[in-house]
Copies of this chain bind each other. A is one copy, B any other.
Amino acid sequence: MFTYEYPHPAVTVDIVIYTLRDDELKLLLIKRGGKPFKGKWALPGGFIQMDESLEEAARRELEEETGVSGVFLEQLYTYGEPKRDPRERVITVAYYALIPSDRVEIRAASDAEAVGWFAMDELPKLAFDHEEILAMAHERLVAKLDYSTLAFQFMPGEFTLTQLQQVYETILQQEIDKRNFRKWILALECIEETGNEQRDGPHRPAKLYRVKEPGKVEIIK
């Protein structure tokens, strides 16, 4: 038992985990195995431990649910309405993470009935205020595609320009002119040819590229 002179809220970290799969933007939800909202879908997350920072807590949860580490993770917003959790006062610091399409591997977390990837247009009703969190995460994601090199965080080690363009088209939900896209993306000077080619059908092979500084997300305006 832990005793304080003044009341303290609980603090949790929830994560919106995005990846691209089947040419769709998908995010990870867990089916809650315990109260409250038992049986409902929710964002993965959990209480922070007293000896870890907020980001460390987010990375721990991320690895517990997906097995991945070292991916892009950024703080999104902090939610603290008094009644957002029926049990007690809970402050939730939300993060969002982007996982490259070749590193997806779900683990079943201990406190979840089920885990699954959902596309934006097939989301179930969510527990708590998680729909609000999701709306803000998606807004941030779309905005950052425009003014940063965030999209590279979805790419595997080697990729073609067509694949990269599809990432933009999938998330922004609009078609982009191929020539203008290539002009623009190459002018950023963030990617380089690997020298390899991808051949996957009865047509000209595509040059493969890699990101020069994979971890870095730059503001490009």
**A53–B75 contact, CB under 8 A?**
no
Instruction: Specify which of B2, B5, B51, B82 is in contact with A8 (CB 8 Å cutoff).
Output: B2
The 0/1 profile, CB within 8 Å of B marked 1, for residues 4-39 of chain A is 111111110000000000000000000000000000
Asked whether any CB of chain B lies closer than 8 Å to the CB of A48, the reply is: yes
A48 touches B6 (CB 8 A): no
Residues in B neighbouring A2, C-beta threshold 8 A? 3-8
CA distance A80 to B9 in the complex (A): 14
Please name the residue on chain B nearest to A9 by beta carbon: B11
Nearest neighbor of A55 in chain B, beta-carbon distance: B80
Residue A188, interface by CB 8 Å: no
In the complex, which residues of chain B have a beta carbon less than 8 angstroms from the beta carbon of A89?
50
Q: Is the CB of A50 within 8 A of B80?
A: no
Least Cβ–Cβ distance between A125 and chain B, in angstroms: 23
Chain A positions 94 through 106: 1 when the CB is less than 8 Å from some CB of chain B, otherwise 0: 0000000000000
B50 and A9: CB pair below 8 A? yes
Is the CB–CB distance between B4 and A1 below 8 Å? yes
Answer whether residue A177 sits at the interface, using C-beta atoms and an 8 A cutoff: no
Selected from B1, B4, B52, the residue in CB contact (under 8 A) with A82 is B52
User: A54 on the interface (CB 8 Å rule)?
Assistant: yes
Q: Shortest Cβ distance from A38 into chain B, in angstroms?
A: 19
Chain B residues in 8 Å Cβ range of A6 = 2, 10, 47
* Contact flag A1-B8 (CB < 8 Å), given A50-B82, A91-B91: no
The answer on a CB contact under 8 Å between B50 and A78 is no
Judging by beta carbons under 8 Å apart, are B78 and A78 in contact? yes
**Max chain B Cβ within 10 angstroms of own Cβ: one of A9, A52, A78:** A78
Instruction: Give chain B residues whose Cβ lies under 8 Å from the Cβ of A53.
Output: 80-82
Cross-chain contact A78 with B93 (CB below 8 angstroms): yes
6 closest A-B pairs (Cβ-Cβ)? A8-B8, A54-B80, A78-B78, A2-B7, A3-B3, A7-B50
**Interface residues in chain A, defined as those with a beta carbon under 8 Å from any beta carbon in chain B:** 1-11, 47-48, 50-54, 75, 77-82, 89, 91, 93
